[in-house]
A and B are shown apart, each in its own frame.
Chain A
């Protein structure tokens, strides 16, 4: 788990790698996106991104998938990590559906791949409405 202190308004979720990541993450992200007053279409986008993360992150996380969620008025950001080196790019990989490309890159307003102090990947995303 990241050693960076949590911001006062951040929510942190840690789920053991495996089948529970999806159900937990989609509910947490969905609820927080609703609280941030994102409109329904952007809320759906946030949940879709959570589903993609849940489907792929376990393969690049050591024991648990760690996600931090921050919100502001009509804005949601996610920080997923630590992931093994190369894991963030793998999460951003293309959809298996032909011609769709990367779901996360298409839906998020900002995407950053960072490296933490331990050399692990951290994927940071921002979704907003009205940007």
Chain B
């Protein structure tokens, strides 16, 4: 995944133990983007959900790649989670978790949310977290 010169790009094997690596980086960058601690927790949870979906659903029994792009700004953090899986399901279905909570949770936690599901070219989840936004706890 290629970003702009100011982006942070991670490419990891899509295994469960690597989700914590992404979560650590998100936590650090969200804080430096002016997002308060409850918002940082929301960002970490939402990104964990997106990464978990990749690990569980994107590669159907094989180990593929988990790509994460992070673009910090002074009052906002953009996070893009992408896989190279089939992407053949209808938007939202390919990443359905067993309880169906992952996507609604991500939509609730992120101030901006977009799901791009391209058959044969993987799935991309784009989320942005804003400094000063109401968190689920405050709402």
Residues of A within 8 A of B (CB): 6, 8-16, 20, 23-24, 27-28, 31-32, 35, 63-64
Contact = CB atoms under 8 A, between A and B. Distances in A.
B13 A16 contact: no
A27 B5 contact: no
A5 to B, nearest CB: 11
A31 B25 CA distance: 10
A16 B25 contact: no
Interface residues of B, number: 21
Interface string B76-120: 000000000000000000000000000000000000000000000
Contacts of B24: 27-28, 31
B10 A20 contact: no
B74 to A, nearest CB: 13
Contacts of A23: 28-29, 32
A64 B11 contact: no
A13 B10 contact: yes
Contacts of A13: 8-10
30 contacts: A6-B11, A6-B65, A8-B13, A9-B13, A10-B13, A11-B10, A11-B11, A11-B13, A11-B21, A12-B10, A12-B11, A12-B12, A13-B8, A13-B9, A14-B7, A14-B8, A14-B9, A20-B8, A20-B29, A20-B32, A24-B8, A27-B21, A27-B25, A27-B28, A28-B10, A28-B24, A28-B25, A31-B20, A35-B18, A63-B5
A63 B7 CA distance: 10
B47 to A, nearest CB: 14
Interface of B: 5-13, 17-18, 20-21, 24-25, 28-29, 32, 63, 65, 72
9 nearest interchain CB pairs? Answer: A14-B9, A12-B11, A27-B24, A31-B21, A63-B5, A11-B12, A16-B6, A23-B28, A15-B8
Nearest to B64: A8
A31 B21 CA distance: 6
